[in-house]
Each structure stands twice: as structure tokens, then as C-alpha cells.
Structure 1
């Protein structure tokens, strides 16, 4: 299907974009809905909480690795066949999670669930790139950030309600039902966005060459990693903020959810403001200014932590600025990374997702492994991620300049 920006502009949320939003929601819902069930899950399976946390780690690894498969497949056969495959696997794996009788079995099914669910993330980005030009893509990605911001707020609440009413296994039955509903939506309401007459051949050599060319494309790599370092900072915050806020600064666990929700709200607000900021400005200009916020917040926080001056108000302000700014960073960096990849949008979307989730996983792991009883590890990792995002934007911009020359 040819691109139709005008059609996309007739409604803020056309049906195809709503479906893309539901595809993007699969990962955060699958992560956040079962978090409140960790103690109950550990007790039921007879393991400690650390083993239950590994089920989250295996899910994140599956998200990072699985995306690389779907891109080339979708560039050859279209965007819908990979969704049938991925969502089908997701539903089966969610049922497997609901029936699991050991932590090891749950880890396996969670890994397979991630391998299936990540198809939605890859295809949502590819469909947007198929249909829209760069500026329209940035606005569409900003709309999808509503989903990414609301999910961390709503999913734990929904999960807690299900846990109280019916137990932790029902959470996975609900996820299976949601995956099936999205699969039916894709089948009945989503039109194929790839012109199959221009489909790329699916050969191992061709796929390897495409990935090699993308990794040598400074524009693609730079902007992808700029968003990736932002994601790494967010994963570091998700991993380290409970210890820093609850154990170090005495915030009640029930109040921590409000802090988490406030930062997610900042992400939503900035993502919607981004739709206005890109009018009359280049995406790179908006991205460059937006990146100053997480970089500054991270550096100030790191300096304060080193000096022993990281007070609770400073921490809360820095977290809010860093996470909120990603509402501008992620849509624009993603649109710029995919701007000149229309001939292999699926492959490019897959590699971008793999790079970003790999960095995100590393960011969260770095905070978890470097524990010294202070806020310093979280502050330093967030500062490095903010600075890395700025540097990668310059790297991508230099690549775009060379391509234009």
C-alpha cells in the first residue's frame, strides 16, 4: 500500500494507528501487569523472589533478540504474516505461563512470550514508516507514546485487581485473551501496508548484507542508539528507583506508585507536546534540544550523588525531567533513524528495536549489579545514558549530512 499522509491526518487516531498502539502495548502490559504478583508467585511456586525476578529478565532478553527475526521476514512477505506468527506464539506462551508449575518452566514460557510479542513492536514501527513521511512519522510515534506512558500507570493497577480477585495465573489468561483480541483486530481491520511487488528476497546472504549495511549507516545507527541510550536510562530508573526512593529515602511503597505515575504522565505530556514542536522545525532540531534535558538531569544527579547531596527533592526532579524528556526524544530519534529506510523498513525497525532493548537491558543490569547502598550507581548510569544519547545524535547527524552531500 502506498503512503497516505493526508489520510493519516484526517483523524488523530485512525484505525490502523490504534491497532499499532495495541501492538506496542503488548510489551509494557506483559512486563508491568504481573509485577504486583511477584510475592504471591514466589510463594505458590516455592522459590525466592530472586528467581521470580529472573522471569522478567528472560522476557527482556527475548524482546531484544526476537525482533531481529521478524524484520527480514516482513520485508519479504508483508507486515501481517509475521504478526500472525508472533501473536499466535504470544497467546500460546501466555497460556503456558498460566499453567506453569515451576519457576524454570515459567522462565521458558516468558522467553517464548517475548519472542512472540516483540513482533508487534517491529511491525508497528514498520507500518508507520510504510505509510508516513518523517515528520508525520514523528507525530505518529508521539501518539504511540501515549500507550507507552499509560501502560506503566494502568498495568500494575489492573494486575493488582486481577491478583486480588483471581490469583496470579489469571493475569496470564488475561494477557492471552488480549493477544488473541489483537490478533483478530490485525486480521479483520488492518490492511497490508507493504507493496509486495517491491518485496525484498528472503535469503540468508541478503539478510546479512542488509543488517551489515544498516550497521554501517551512521544516520541509522546514530539516531537508533540516541533513542537506545534514552531507553537505557529509563530501564536504569525502573531497576534502581525502588531501592533509592523506598529504602534510602523512606517513601512508602504505596506512594512509590504515585512517583512512577507522575513520571509516566510527564512522558505522555511531552510526547503530545512534541507533535506541536515538530511543526516548522526539523526533527533533528527538536531532538537536539530535547536531549539536553536528560543529559543535564543525569549529570546534575551524578555530581550531587558524588558530593553526597542527592536529596529526595533533587532525585524526584531529576527523574521527572529525564523520563519526561523521552517523550520528545524517542519519537523523533525513531523517525530520523527510519527516514531513509523505506526499502527495508521491517529490517531496519527490527534492528533498531534490538539495539534499543539491548542497551535498555544493559542499563538496568548495570544498576542491579553495581550496588553500594547509595544512589550513586543509578545517578552515574543515568548520566552516562544522557550523555551517550547526545553523542549518538551528533553521530547520526553527521551521517545524515554525508548522505545529503
Structure 2
């Protein structure tokens, strides 16, 4: 069941990164501009956030399994439409639906774990999910690049269709209904509004959710800006950037593995506090070194590694603690965490480019601000008594 949930959680990086190597060819094939093709990524990310925000609360009233089955069927169908799209307009629409249905799997995978586990076990499982989340962005562009020549960009979407069918099989075979009828809330707008009010009224949940979203904001600042920082600022080649990105991703996976081993020996909140502290410290040193000492590989690269490494102690632990605060509305809690995660990423992404391609300062500022706000939320909101 855990492997099936992990595959559902890998929807976003697989559907985002696998087709990236084919973007220039897609533009020529569909007779459209670069902006038109980039809209296929924008609509996917928008659908991803909206899908989580809608489906999470619905699952608290309807259960998880039925929505997972519907979501994976729609994901497979929309992926097939992407493969067959005759125009960029059809592709943009299909990508929006693909994102929406992919968001269903992501939000409900977290909710299923929250239904079945709590405490240290929940933190271990969420850390395992983060390991998969760290591997998928490494593997997806490599797989996409390897498949582009033999099967083309349409073939990549057929591969995603096959992966979606595999997800559906995993749901049907391995994932039972985890929310029994007696724990479900009634349907209707009033029930949905009540769930949102219950979750958003829990200050401890807001603190952990903020730590989660802001940690992802720091990560996305790195993802968005690092190609320009490593190549334009540090003067490294595209191949060297790929190696740097892979090394940092390995660091993220390693940190999650270490985190799972330490859970039980240390409190989950203490491990989260360590991760946020490391992120804040490394981000501050990154900013100081960029502004005062200038851009030097021997300084920036280790500090970037430390920032990414810190996320292995931040993302999984904050998810487990946040979900643990709202056990009776785990779907709604998961939806709010997911929507805030991708919403903040959408805000951070353009901001890190404001200074141009020749400076690392905007990236460092975004990381410092994200880490500082995460620390503030963790130290203030999560210390209030449980409601």
C-alpha cells in the first residue's frame, strides 16, 4: 500500500519533468510559440493545486478510495488526450485536467497515511514519501531525455498514461478504504465550510502547515534559480549543473533516510526544529557570502547542499505533525497543506528572477525569508495548547 501511495505522490514530478526535454520539439510540432508551450506547465500546476483544495474536503465526507479510483481513471484519460492532442489549445486543457486529477492522488495519499497512522510512525511514513519525492525529480528528466529520441514527446505522454494505469491498479489492489463511514462528515457546503473552519482554526496546524509550505518555498527558490546561479553566476556547464542538482537531490534523500532512523530517538518536533534551524542558518550564510564575499563555488555549492539537506528534516516531519493536529478532517488538512505548498511555489518562482540571471542574491533572499517565516511559525503557533 505504501508503494502505491508513493507512486501517487510522484505524479507531479513525473508529469512535470518527464516532458521538459521535449518542450522545444513540442513547440515546433504544434506550430506554437514558446509561451504557448509553457502554458502547459502553468495550467498543470494550477490544476494540481485546485485538485487538492477541492478533493481533500470532499474525501472527508465521501471517503478516500472512491475518489482515488475516479482520480486515477481521469489521470490516465487526460494523459492519453495529451498524447493525442492535435493543437496546443487541446494540450493546455488536457494538462489542466491532468493536474487536477493528479492532485487527487497527492492529497489523498497524505490523508490515507493520516487515517492509518499517527505520531512517530506517521512521521516515518511521510519521510519515506519524501524519499520518493526526492528521487522522482532526478529520474524523471533523465527518463524523459532518454525516451525523447526513440518515441517522441507524444510517446512520453503515453508512458505517463501507462504509469497512471499502474497507479489505478495499485489503488484497486492495495489501497482499501481508510475512512470508515462513522468517521465521515455529512455532505454539502455547510459541512465543507465546517471542515475548513475546524482546520484553519487550529493554530498548531497552521504553524506546522506554514513550516511545510515555507520549506517547499525555499526548495522551489532553489529549483527555479539554481540553473542560472550555477551556470551564469558560477560559470559551470549544463552537465556540471546536472551533477550539482543530482548531488543535492541525493542529499535530500539521505537526509530523509537519516530522519527516519532518528524518529523514536528524538521527538518529531525537535527534528523539525533542527531542519528549520539548519535551513535558516545555511540560507543566512548563503546571503552573506553572496552579498559580501561574492559568488564562489567553494562557498555557494556547500551552502546550497545544506539548504536542500535541511528539507529532509522539514517536509516529512511538518506534514506528520500538521496532519496529526486535525485527525477528524485529514483530507481538508492535506488539501490546505498541498494548496499552500504549490501556491507559494508559484509566487516564489518569478521573484527569484527579479535581479536578472547574473546574481544569486534573490535566491538567497527568498530562502532566508522562507526559513525565517517558517521558524517564526514553528516557535509561536505550535506552542499554544492543543484545541
**TM bucket by the smaller chain?**
over 0.9
Match of 1:168 in 2: 153
Match of 1:13 in 2: none
Q: 2:220–2:349: 8 Å Cα contact kept in structure 1?
A: yes
Segment drifting more, 69-78 vs 258-267: 69-78
- State how 1:215-364 maps to structure 2 within 5 Å: 215-307=200-292, 309-364=294-349
Q: 2:289–2:300: 8 Å Cα contact kept in structure 1?
A: no
C-alpha distance in 2 between matches for 1:216 and 1:90:
33
1:18 equivalent in alignment to 2:10: no
Gaps of 5+ in 1: 1-15
1:155 equivalent in alignment to 2:140: yes
After TM superposition, give the deviation of residue 227 of structure 1 in Å: 1.0
1:41-85 deviation per Cα after TM superposition (whole angstroms, max 9, x unaligned) = 222223343432232222212212210111122112211111122
Q: 2:255–2:309: 8 Å Cα contact kept in structure 1?
A: yes
C-alpha distance in 2 between matches for 1:372 and 1:162:
30
Q: 1:301–1:310: 8 Å Cα contact kept in structure 2?
A: no
C-alpha distance in 2 between matches for 1:308 and 1:354:
37
Match of 1:85 in 2: 70
Distance 1:81 1:37, change over 3 A: same
Match of 1:210 among 168, 174, 195: 195
- State how 1:168-207 maps to structure 2 within 5 Å: 168-207=153-192
1:310-343 deviation per Cα after TM superposition (whole angstroms, max 9, x unaligned) = 2122221122111111111111100110113111
Gaps of 5+ in 2: none
Q: Normalising to structure 2: TM-score of the pair?
A: 0.96
Match of 1:101 in 2: 86
The Cα RMSD (Å) is 1.6
Q: 1:218–1:398: 8 Å Cα contact kept in structure 2?
A: no
1:177-234 deviation per Cα after TM superposition (whole angstroms, max 9, x unaligned) = 1101111221122211111222111110121121122222111111011011110111
Match of 1:74 in 2: 59
Match of 2:12 in 1: 27
Match of 1:403 in 2: 386
C-alpha distance in 1 between matches for 2:68 and 2:50:
16
Q: 2:127–2:257: 8 Å Cα contact kept in structure 1?
A: yes
Segment drifting more, 312-321 vs 169-178: 312-321
Helix, strand or coil at the partner of 2:386: helix
Helix, strand or coil at the partner of 2:7: helix
Q: 2:355–2:361: 8 Å Cα contact kept in structure 1?
A: no
After TM superposition, give the deviation of residue 372 of structure 1 in Å: 6.0
C-alpha distance in 1 between matches for 2:268 and 2:342:
23
Match of 1:53 among 32, 38, 63: 38
Match of 2:97 in 1: 112
Q: 2:52–2:103: 8 Å Cα contact kept in structure 1?
A: yes
After TM superposition, give the deviation of residue 369 of structure 1 in Å: 4.7
Match of 2:369 in 1: 384
C-alpha distance in 1 between matches for 2:173 and 2:262:
35
Q: 1:236–1:365: 8 Å Cα contact kept in structure 2?
A: no
Q: Normalising to structure 1: TM-score of the pair?
A: 0.92
C-alpha distance in 2 between matches for 1:273 and 1:336:
18
Q: 1:75–1:345: 8 Å Cα contact kept in structure 2?
A: yes
C-alpha distance in 2 between matches for 1:365 and 1:27:
19
Distance 1:300 1:60, change over 3 A: same
Aligned length: 387
C-alpha distance in 2 between matches for 1:311 and 1:299:
16
Helix, strand or coil at the partner of 2:325: coil
C-alpha distance in 1 between matches for 2:223 and 2:36:
18
C-alpha distance in 1 between matches for 2:11 and 2:343:
18
